[in-house]
Structures are given as structure tokens and as C-alpha cells.
């Protein structure tokens, strides 16, 4: 088995001479075999090994005995050990997550903390080939794509390494017997209470017995092939992402026109990458969330928004899809006096209104949704760029009477949840332009117009 593990280490360049390694140790067969192998390779790679063990405080005396076993194993070999304690059940209740997820979060926090403390270059995890098969099956059952079918990565972020990923659990148990390692057994792993346990104890043994005796190896090989394809595609997407996206602190802006030119697979990957860069991970982000964002891109209405898990929001702003951190405020409120001539920036959204004055010419009538011309002689006071307010009204172009802005929104079938985010150009309570929708009849250019106000609503990327 050691030769196979060494082959994996070398193939994926998991270890370098002089590495400082945090070894995750639960006390079970996998982690104890991994710790023993790293200890065996200590001189070959000039390794510094530091164990990390978390007591989840779920199994009482049994968990305490696991901890003592790991401590004694490390003491005999002079391996430094850090032990953490976390009431995972309480953590799960407070955060509204499953016990499995809470345990995973607590473990990785401990590993990260220890790694920072000892200035580790690697964190070694004991996932094996059986874990890989179980993970792929779980993702299939929950719904997944190419990335999910690629399963667990042998190396992640250049830090997390999994030397046992291509080793079967039965070979690991045999290794433990051959080297007089007497690992602990987590009794909860023997009960089909969770999906992973049901797969491990029921489904996979059934497939192995009735359909394919080497199902774990087949799934592992498939995952490796798909992971290679996924990594190639991800590199391609990365180049496009850098071309059409602008990233600032807590925000990624995607050029919608450029995004629309891409293959649907690339579109989804770019959006997922943007979310990950803002959120820090893709936990709880599902395909339905990506489809929602694609739907508002297709509709193209400025102000349209989708709230995503983890405090993230996607908002359409002119020709951009902005992925931002969501503070919990339902509506964004702003009010700015428009600089005429000049630029007026909305700090809350990053949008910009550009204003210019010029003499009237027939050629000025080339208007667009976000570019409008007004009779400047009819505007007596300074204009304001803001969100809607109580009492707002408009005389929509082509009509004679006035309408409350609220009634206008209803007539235009503008969704209620985006109305408070649509910018308006106003003079007092009178709306001159509902940006992206309609201008006022009262300020349209006529044959008598001498001076024209040109307003263009846009977002300057990278400013």
C-alpha cells in the first residue's frame, strides 16, 4: 500500500522537502494509517508533522477515549498534537445546519487555526477511494454537474492534500493490522442514520455484490477523468472571466453583452465564479440560483435583483450584472443632485449619470433606453437623481394626464420588489425620467427647443 500512496504523492506533487504538515487525526483507521505513513516518510521528505484532533462532544466517553488514543499514539512518536473541543450539536442548532456540516466546519476551522499557528505548508486529510465513491453518489442524488461528478480533489488550493484518495478502505485496514496500529471505531459510522452511512452500509455493498465488484475503483477512475475535463474548462472560463468581469472589494461586475455571447456552460461557470469570489465559497448555491440570475439577465431590466443564500445578491445595473454582498437592507435609498454638465456617481450602486448640454439639432433624436434628451429650457431648477419617494408623479410620454409613480409602475407591470431600486430623475416630486422605462411628456424636445439636456445612465467599470 505504501508504494501506491507514494505514487499518488509524487503524481500530484503533494509533498516537498521541508514541508510543515498538519495531519488531521480522528483516531479511525484512515487517519491513523495516514499519520503513520507521514511519520514513515518523515526523513525521506524532511517533514515536520503536527497532529490535529477535534472532539465533537457527541459521543461522550467514546469520544474522550478516541482523544486519549490519539494523544498516546503521538506521544510515543514525539508528534506534536493540537486538540480542539466543539459542541457540534449546539453549533448546528445555532447556525441552522446539519450535524455533518457543523462537524465539517468545526474540523476545518481547527485545521486552519493550527496551520496558521505552526506556519504549515500543507494540511493532510485521510479521504480514501471509498469516500470518493460515496461522495460522487451523494452528489448524484442531490443533483450535480461536471464539477460535482469530479468528486474530491487530490489537492485543493495547493494546501489540502489527500494521499490515500486512491487507496481502498480494506487496504488501509490491512495496513493497520500489518503495522500493529489499533485504530478506534466510531460507532455512529456503523448506523445507517445519515445518507453517507446508508450509501456505505447499504447501497454500495448491494452494487458490489450484484453488479460490479470493483465499483469504488470505477467511480474513482470516472471522477478523475471528469475532473481533468472540468479543470480544462475552468481554465478556459478563467480567461473569459478576467476579460468580461471587474472585481472590487465585495463586488463583481459582469458585462452582460459579453456574457450573452458565451456558451450556456460558460455563462453558468462565470456566474458561479463571481459568486464564489464575493461569497468566499459556493455552499448552498444550487443550479436554480444560477438560472434565476440568467433569467433577470435575459429580461434586462435595471434594478432587477435576485437574493442568494449566504448574504449575496445579484442586481442588474444598466449593462452589468453586479454580484454583491447583501447587508440585509431590502431597499437601496439614494439621492444626488445631478452635475450639469458632468458626472454624478451613485456610491450605493456604482452607477453613473452623465449630463451634457448642447444646442438642439435634429440628429439628437437617436435615443436608447438609457440615453435620453430633454428640453433644457423647460427645466428651471436643479435636477435630482434618486430612488422613488412618496408623492412622486409623472406625465408619461404620449399621455396628457399625470399619474402617480406607483400607478405607472403597476401599469408597466414592474415587479414590486424592484421598484424601490429603479433610479428616477426628478424635479421636486415631478418625475422627468424613470430610468430604463419612460420619460415625461412635459420635457420632450419640440420644434421650439433651443437648448438640449443629454442624460446617459451607465456604470463605469473599474472606477
Residue ranges for the known binding site are 26-31
* Predicted pLDDT of residue 26: 95
Closest CA to 15 of 166, 158, 171: 158
What cell was used for 174? Answer: 490491512
Query: Torsion angle, CA of 323/285/100/217, rounded to 10 degrees?
Result: -120
Q: In what order do the strands lie in the sheet with 451-459?
A: 342-345, 351-359, 451-459, 371-375
Q: Under a CB-based contact definition with an 8 Å cutoff, are residues 393 and 405 in contact?
A: yes
Report phi then psi at 125, rounded to 5: -115, 150
* Predicted pLDDT of residue 442: 92
Distance separating alpha carbons of residues 262 and 271, to the nearest angstrom: 12
* Predicted pLDDT of residue 370: 86
pLDDT in tens, the chain (463 residues): 999 999 999 999 999 999 999 999 999 999 999 999 999 999 999 999 999 999 998 888 899 999 999 999 999 999 999 999 999 999 988 887 788 888 999 999 999 999 999 999 999 999 999 999 999 999 998 888 898 999 999 999 999 999 999 999 999 999 999 999 999 988 777 778 778 889 999 999 999 999 999 999 999 999 999 999 999 999 999 999 999 999 887 899 999 999 999 999 999 999 999 999 999 888 778 888 999 999 988 876 667 788 888 888 898 877 889 999 876 555 678 899 999 989 998 877 767 899 998 887 765 556 787 899 999 999 877 899 999 999 999 999 988 889 999 999 888 877 676 788 889 999 999 999 999 889 999 998 888 888 999 999 975 443 3
Structure letter (DSSP) for residue 119: T
**With a threshold of 0.75, does the pTM exceed it?**
no
Domains belonging to the chain, first-starting first, are: 1-224 (3.40.50.620), 249-325 (3.30.465.60), 335-458 (3.50.40.10)
Number of other CB atoms surrounding residue 186 within 10 Å: 17
Cis omega (within 30 of 0) on the bond before 383? no
- Cβ-count burial 218-246 (b if 16+ within 10 Å, e if not): ebbebbeebbeebeeeeeebeebbeebbb
* Predicted pLDDT of residue 461: 40
For 31, left (φ over 0), alpha (ψ -120 to 50), or beta?
alpha
Q: Which ranges constitute the DSSP H helices of 143-263?
A: 146-149, 169-178, 195-198, 204-210, 215-244, 256-260
Closest CA to 176 of 22, 355, 37, 285: 37
Closest CA to 164 of 332, 23, 284, 283: 23
> Do strands 122-124 and 160-161 pair parallel, antiparallel, or not at all (unpaired)?
parallel
Query: Cell 430610468 sits at which residue?
Result: 435
For 340, left (φ over 0), alpha (ψ -120 to 50), or beta?
beta
Structure letter (DSSP) for residue 319: T
* Predicted pLDDT of residue 294: 93
Residue ranges for the known binding site for ATP are 26-31
| Residue 96: partners with Cβ closer than 8 Å, 6 or more residues away | none
Q: Under a CB-based contact definition with an 8 Å cutoff, are residues 457 and 318 in contact?
A: yes
- Identify the sign of the CA torsion 38, 40, 45, 48: positive
Distance separating alpha carbons of residues 224 and 131, to the nearest angstrom: 14
Closest CA to 347 of 423, 276, 271, 456: 423
- Give CA angle at 253 (384, 426), nearest 5°: 10
Amino acid at each position: 500500500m505504501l508504494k501506491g500512496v507514494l505514487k499518488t504523492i509524487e503524481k500530484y506533487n503533494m509533498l516537498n522537502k521541508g514541508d510543515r504538515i498538519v495531519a488531521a487525526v480522528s483516531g479511525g483507521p484512515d487517519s491513523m494509517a495516514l499519520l503513520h505513513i507521514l511519520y514513515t516518510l518523515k526523513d525521506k521528505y524532511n517533514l515536520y508533522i503536527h497532529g490535529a484532533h477535534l472532539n465533537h462532544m457527541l459521543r461522550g466517553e467514546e469520544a474522550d477515549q478516541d482523544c486519549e488514543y490519539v494523544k498516546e499514539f503521538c506521544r510515543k512518536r514525539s508528534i506534536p498534537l493540537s486538540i480542539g473541543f466543539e459542541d457540534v450539536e449546539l453549533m448546528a442548532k445555532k447556525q441552522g445546519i446539519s450535524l455533518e456540516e457543523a462537524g465539517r466546519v468545526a474540523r476545518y476551522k481547527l485545521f486552519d487555526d493550527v496551520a496558521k499557528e505552526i506556519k504549515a505548508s500543507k494540511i493532510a486529510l485521510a479521504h480514501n477511494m471509498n469516500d470518493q465513491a460515496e461522495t460522487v453518489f451523494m452528489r448524484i442524488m442531490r443533483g450535480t454537474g461536471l464539477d460535482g461528478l469530479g468528486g474530491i480533489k487530490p489537492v485543493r488550493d495547493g494546501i489540502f492534500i489527500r494521499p490515500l484518495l486512491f487507496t481502498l478502505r480494506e487496504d488501509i485496514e490491512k495496513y493497520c493490522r500489518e503495522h500493529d496500529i489499533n485504530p478506534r471505531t466510531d460507532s455512529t459510522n456503523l448506523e445507517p442514520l445519515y445518507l453517507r452511512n446508508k450509501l456505505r452500509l447499504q447501497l454500495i455493498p448491494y452494487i458490489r455484490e450484484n453488479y460490479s465488484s470493483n465499483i469504488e475503483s470505477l467511480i474513482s477512475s470516472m471522477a478523475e477523468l471528469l475532473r481533468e475535463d472540468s479543470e480544462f474548462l475552468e481554465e478556459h472560463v478563467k480567461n473569459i472571466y478576467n476579460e468580461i468581469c471587474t472585481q472590487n472589494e465585495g463586488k463583481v461586475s459582469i458585462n452582460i453583452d459579453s456574457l450573452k455571447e458565451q456558451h450556456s456552460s460558460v455563462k453558468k461557470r462565470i456566474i458561479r465564479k463571481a459568486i464564489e469570489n464575493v461569497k468566499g465559497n459556493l455552499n448552498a448555491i444550487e443550479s436554480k440560483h444560477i438560472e434565476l440570475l440568467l433569467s433577470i439577465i435575459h429580461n434586462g431590466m435595471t434594478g432587477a435583483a435576485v437574493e442568494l443564500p449566504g448574504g449575496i445578491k445579484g442586481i442588474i445595473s444598466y449593462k452589468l450584472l453586479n454580484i454583491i454582498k447583501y447587508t440585509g437592507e431590502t431597499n437601496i435609498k439614494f439621492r444626488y443632485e445631478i452635475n450639469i454638465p458632468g458626472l454624478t456617481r451613485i456610491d450605493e450602486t456604482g452607477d453613473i449619470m452623465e449630463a451634457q448640454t448642447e444646442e438642439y439639432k435634429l440628429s439628437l433624436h437617436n435615443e436608447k433606453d438609457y440615453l435620453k434628451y430633454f428640453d433644457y429650457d423647460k427645466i428651471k431648477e436643479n435636477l435630482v437623481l434618486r430612488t422613488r419617494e412618496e408623492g412622486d408623479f409623472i406625465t408619461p410620454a404620449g399621455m396628457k394626464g399625470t399619474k402617480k409613480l406607483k400607478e405607472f409602475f403597476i401599469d408597466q407591470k414592474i415587479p414590486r420588489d424592484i421598484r424601490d431600486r429603479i433610479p428616477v430623475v426628478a424635479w421636486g416630486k415631478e418625475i422627468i425620467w424613470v430610468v430604463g422605462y419612460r420619460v415625461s411628456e412635459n420635457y420632450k424636445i419640440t420644434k421650439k427647443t433651443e437648448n438640449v439636456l443629454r442624460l446617459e445612465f451607465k456604470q463605469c467599470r473599474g472606477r
